[in-house]
Amino acid sequence: MRWSRQLQAVQSGQIQQYAMIMVGGVIVLILITVILP
């Protein structure tokens, strides 16, 4: 049980990191599209 809980915590942490990276990429794309024109 302890191992499974730790694995779930690690997976959730990785998902949060990927979500932050994706959000950052989207914000950068929006800024580029707004600044270039």
Question: What confidence score (pLDDT) does residue 1 get?
Answer: 59
pLDDT tens-digit map of 1-37: 577 888 888 888 888 889 999 999 999 999 999 998 7
Give one DSSP letter per residue of 1-37, joined into a string. -HHHHHHHHHHHHHHHHHHHHHHHHHHHHHHHHHH--
Question: For the whole model, what pTM was predicted?
Answer: 0.57
Q: What gap in Å lies between CA 14 and CA 10, rounded to an integer? A: 6
Question: What confidence score (pLDDT) does residue 27 get?
Answer: 97
Domain range annotation of the chain? 1-37
Would you call 18 exposed, middle or buried from its count of C-beta atoms within 10 A (0-12, 13-18, 19+)? exposed
Question: What confidence score (pLDDT) does residue 34 get?
Answer: 95
